[in-house]
Amino acid sequence: MTRVDPETVLCGRMFVDGELRYTEVGIADGKIVSVGRLVSGGEERIDLGTSMTVLPGFMDPHVHLRDPGMTSKEDFSTGTMSAVCGGVTCVLDMPNTKPPVTDLQTLMDKKRTVRGRSYADYGLFAALTPNCPAALLAPHVPAFKLFMGSTTGNILLNDDEEIAPVMEEIAGTGKVVSVHAEDDDLIVHGEEERCCQDHLRNRPVEAEFSALRRLAQYKDTNRINICHCTNAEQVRTASSLGFTTEVTMHHLMFDALRNTSAIYKTNPPIRDKATKDALFQCLLRGEITMFGTDHAPHTLEEKSRDFDSAPGGIPGVETTMPMVMEMVRAGTLGMCQAVRMGAENPGSVFSVPKGRIAVGYDADFSIFDMRKVSEIDQKRLHSKAGFSPYHGMRAVFPDTVIIRGQVQVKEGELCGEPLGKDVCG
């Protein structure tokens, strides 16, 4: 391997190879080119001292940035501002925009729409539909999304005879299929809902179990990721099949009896307290692959409608990893697990060279002063949603965020430009 001299050397207490230790990192052309106790060279040397904790940039594999078609709720600029201010240096955006991303032309149109407007690096999913041109789409997407349950956008594919040929084509590409794993045949449609308990009744956990049983036939042929897991049995079953799993903060924090209003309405639903607590124990035991926020903003006006007509979805890309870092500070969660679930595993699962402080990876860093605990203030968040169900909860926000060697957040404030790149070109 040809040695590349660093342009910049970053020095400080870094998370490398599973532990925090003093490290120097050489950066050139946005990549990490050297890592060691002492790194020579560099026109610029940045010494972060011993008070800062330098982690790899986090990656959110599941966001809905609503762009194009629903930009009153969010757009790529505001959504990625939110991401970087929460320590997230790369987001993977879901395809249920308007129009939905189901073919090559629509995908390329969306790429043109968002290019030059993102503060974080990003990838764009394509949705699976009958006769989906998967082989054509695969080089241009980090993964595909299968909606077995109805949700915002109505890109539903829940017929086994239609799913099978598409999965066979994707198997040949090696791409991941992230699944909204709720069997729509077991969801009650048209029955009025007045609170989260009603929503839970109409979207029972059996819908998730049924979806997993039907997906089991693909365990030896396809790479499958189960989105927004709501319960421990689902996590265990998915893991036993070799599937990877995501968990959201809202399924870990909220329950349908205590959190009743449409602010907490989401798909799949928040469940009862016992289910939530058992899911949290899965987290603590390290049984879940990664965090995925399912950042799904709607306007406060929309969420303030009567429950039945209010849309489902909760914003979370700016608050999730700061809340995780507060768990680390408080001793609830280990640093190794936080980095593994927030950075290493998403990068590995979706084949993006991010998530580790190692040679060859993008020079992305989320840098924290773990002494600076704050309460989440929804007025200071960057999402167009303008509200957060986590308002008032404790968090540790990043002091500095660097993407491919460029500072995007400094002293907790956005200072960068929309330099984000498409990870699939």
Residue 1: the pLDDT is 52
Which parts are annotated binding residues for Zn(2+)?
62, 64, 145, 180, 228, 294
Binned average pLDDT, 10 residues per bin, the chain of 425 residues: 84 97 98 96 92 98 98 98 98 97 97 98 97 95 96 86 97 97 97 98 98 98 98 98 98 98 98 98 98 98 97 98 98 98 98 98 98 98 98 98 98 98 95
Residue 199: the pLDDT is 98
Is the pTM above the cut of 0.95?
A: yes
Nearest to 121, CA basis, from 351, 409, 417, 403:
403
Same domain, 316 and 388: no
Residue 4: the pLDDT is 85
Domain count for the chain: 2
Residue 30: CATH number of its domain:
2.30.40.10
- Domain of residue 337: give its range: 58-349
CA distance 80 to 75: 8
**In the listed set 349, 370, 391, which residue is the last one of a domain according to the structure?**
349
Residue 151: the pLDDT is 77
Residue 2: the pLDDT is 63
Which parts are annotated binding residues?
62, 64-66, 96, 145, 180, 228, 294, 298
Residue 261: the pLDDT is 98
CA distance 226 to 243: 7
**In the listed set 325, 349, 373, which residue is the last one of a domain according to the structure?**
349
Is residue 142 a contact partner of residue 125, using CB atoms and an 8 Å limit? yes
CA distance 181 to 97: 19
CA distance 376 to 374: 6
Annotated catalytic residues are 294
CA distance 354 to 404: 10
**In the listed set 297, 320, 349, which residue is the last one of a domain according to the structure?**
349
Same domain, 127 and 17: no
